[in-house]
Chain A
Amino acid sequence: MSAAAIAEPMLPRPFRVVASRRETGDTVTLELVPLAGSVPDFAPDQFKPGQFNMVYAFGVGEVPVSLSGDPADGGRMVHTVRAVGAVSRAIAAAAPGSVLGVRGPFGSAWPMAEAEGRDLLLVAGGLGLAPLRPAIRQALARGERFGRIAILYGSRGPAEILYREELAAWGQRPGATVALTLDHADAAWEGHVGVVPDLIPGVSFDPRNSVAMLCGPEVMLRFTARALLGAGVPAERIYVSMERNMKCAVGLCGHCQFGGDFICRDGAVLRYDRVAARLAVREV
């Protein structure tokens, strides 16, 4: 599941920001490369879609951030960061040329191999599209290995849509569908308004031969999984990516526990049948 053990997992390694692209008002996508000579064993293609890094802003602090780039792009760690707290604000503000610390990659991965030969449903809410992006890109790049690929994405408003140009391009790929919905539309919006599960009846897939990958707020995960189950997708082919407070990222600090699972080690990607009962309980 996870990559090989890292020699010094607690030490941030310096990476230089080589590109910063503004996605929305408060969200940027950063591209990072290791500082020359400082990360001898760095191999960006060793991370798997669904994994995350701990990203450190010098003197400010560290937060978990999913990898949102394609491992096949080579040479770069890509992170999409929303500025919501002191640390994520500092990271999001990192200009090209500045240096951030990186520990990782950590955690489990989306089940790309298991999904081969099946229809693929990639369902995201909000920033949840970022951890799915590596899976989407990998699936589209190897489209011949999959059945139909449906990308369902819910955003708060038109201004919060991530990867806007890519979304449009993904929808043009043969065999791929992109369906968007907004919580709050504006006058220019002609698309769907409502919650993400509402998009499911509109896409064609074979529920008995599909794999679904879900990432977003827990309430979205619950209702989306319920709708997929209702449509006939077996619980063991639904995967969710969970979020919890994390400090160490290696299963030692206890913060990210979700029932018996450590989200940093056993997740963030977990099979739905394993977590369904817990997801139904508040404040676990």
Chain B
Amino acid sequence: MRSDEAQAEPGEAAAGAGQRAPRRLIARDQLGALIQTLAGSGYAVIGPTVRDGAIVYDEVRGVADLPAGWTDRQEAGRYRLERREDGALFGYAVGPHSWKRFLHPPAELLWRARRTEDGFAVEAAPPSPPRFAFLGVRACELHAIAIQDRVFLGGTYRDTGYAARREGAFVVAVNCGTAGGTCFCASMGTGPGVSAGFDLALTELVGDGGHAFLVEAGSEAGATVLAGLASQPATQAALAAAEAVVEGARAGMGRRMETAGLKELLQSNPEHPRWDDIAARCLACANCTMVCPTCFCTTVSDRTDLAGGEATREKRWDSCFTADFSFIHGGAVRASRRSRYRQWMTHKLAHWIDQFGTSGCVGCGRCITWCPVGIDITEEAAAIRAQATGPGKPEVTHGDA
């Protein structure tokens, strides 16, 4: 079920669902033309590619860079690439990377300062955002980007670097045809079909001897690019096949999250015994926060040159699972792993709604897959619900937290 909170949509590039542009069909080779067109327009085209046994996002120059015929098999604490029977280019779910790596990079220079006769002078890092074209953005990832838009652009203070990278980005989305074993976007209301937030949206149609893409433009920029490709009007058969692709993914979700009352459930159960149970397994390694497409926390790292004449400040991804994260004089506020996991999960699924009007979870399953001990956020939420007190417990008999 899609909860109201989960409906974060970016303001731009959204075609109203009622008046979607007519969809077109392009042949597989036109995907290469699409990449060329975007690169020729000055975009750094980032797409899926196989490296180190995983599908990661990196610069792509042509169709040959895409993971043709690969799929991923995911379970809690397990990720393996396997061959597919067909030559699908987007026949996998999601890998360890998300687009936040580009919009909200792992390290970013904020400023430089140098000593002067009069003290010191600070200069902002020159903004030089590359213009990214993202190829193969999943529905859950579009929602993740929309959520980070709220985090970085929605308050009094905007992240100006993020704003520049985001405004320049061209988004080619892909409807999911394969759900991963840890996917649960259907229950978070964030997928598997894309509905808004893209310039172009593709549905891969592969099989029966053909390999083509149904394409929908979601913005004027997208329509212009589409007009430059060799395309045909979509046939009824192609539209039906595209619908079946998404329905197949919906039916194949490996996980499910019950979202009804989840915020109240977590906020009223900070002393639930399950937190101790999780703490006995959690390594506080921070993997879940690194792979999460919405986790946004950063720290700063100040450096000086050896002579002490120049200093820089860099912003870097940080994680609420580290001891340093909550350190104030006297020690870490969240010294135990129990408190750190509770903070992460309660923030993600509950406080986020208070802060940004949306859940922080899009159901991509990365935190489950990439947890080295296989902690499963859907399983933990269900376990908390099963023995909960207060709001959100399964039978509504009144209990006192």
Contact = CB atoms under 8 A, between A and B. Distances in A.
Interface of A: 2, 5, 8-14, 16, 35, 38, 58-62, 82, 84-85, 88, 98-99, 101, 243-245, 247-248, 250-255, 257, 259-260, 262, 265, 281-284
27 contacts: A2-B156, A5-B157, A10-B111, A10-B124, A11-B111, A16-B119, A58-B311, A59-B302, A59-B304, A62-B300, A82-B329, A99-B118, A243-B328, A244-B326, A244-B328, A245-B333, A248-B300, A252-B151, A252-B296, A253-B318, A254-B320, A257-B343, A257-B347, A257-B351, A260-B351, A260-B355, A284-B334
Contacts of A284: 270, 333-334, 339, 343
Interface residues of B, number: 48
Nearest to B161: A10
B155 interface: yes
B271 to A, nearest CB: 7
A251 B157 contact: yes
B318 A254 contact: yes
Contacts of A255: 297, 299, 318, 325-326
A252 B333 contact: no
Contacts of A281: 270-271
A2 B66 CA distance: 49
A245 B119 contact: no
Contacts of A38: 121
B120 A9 contact: no
Nearest to B156: A5
Given A8-B124, A85-B329, A284-B339, 9 more contacts: A10-B124, A11-B111, A13-B122, A59-B302, A101-B113, A248-B300, A254-B296, A260-B350, A284-B343
Contacts of A9: 157
Contact of B297 (A12, A243, A253): A253
B140 to A, nearest CB: 21
Interface of B: 110-111, 113, 115, 118-122, 124, 151-152, 155-157, 159, 267, 270-271, 296-300, 302, 304, 308, 311, 315, 318, 320, 325-329, 333-336, 338-339, 343, 347, 350-351, 354-355
Nearest to B121: A14
B196 to A, nearest CB: 25
A251 B155 contact: yes
A245 B308 CA distance: 26
A283 B151 contact: no
B298 A248 contact: yes
Contact of A58 (B113, B118, B325, B336): B113
A60 B302 contact: yes
A14 B120 contact: yes
Nearest to A251: B155
A10 B320 contact: no
A283 B354 contact: no
B274 to A, nearest CB: 15
A143 B338 CA distance: 48
A126 to B, nearest CB: 11
B355 A262 contact: yes
Contact of B119 (A2, A99, A282): A99
A55 to B, nearest CB: 13
A53 to B, nearest CB: 15
Nearest to B298: A253
Contacts of B267: 259
B335 A283 contact: yes
Given A35-B118, A283-B339, A252 B329 contact: no
Give the 10 A-B CB pairs with smallest separation, nearest first. Answer: A99-B119, A254-B297, A283-B339, A260-B354, A250-B157, A59-B304, A260-B351, A84-B329, A59-B311, A281-B270
A144 B271 CA distance: 47
B309 to A, nearest CB: 9
Contacts of A250: 155-157
Nearest to B113: A58
Instruction: Pick the most buried of B267, B297, B354: most chain A CB atoms within 10 A of its CB.
Output: B297
A241 to B, nearest CB: 13
Contacts of B326: 244-245, 255
Nearest to B351: A260
Nearest to B350: A260
Contacts of A252: 151-152, 155, 157, 159, 296, 298
A58 B315 CA distance: 17
B329 A283 contact: no
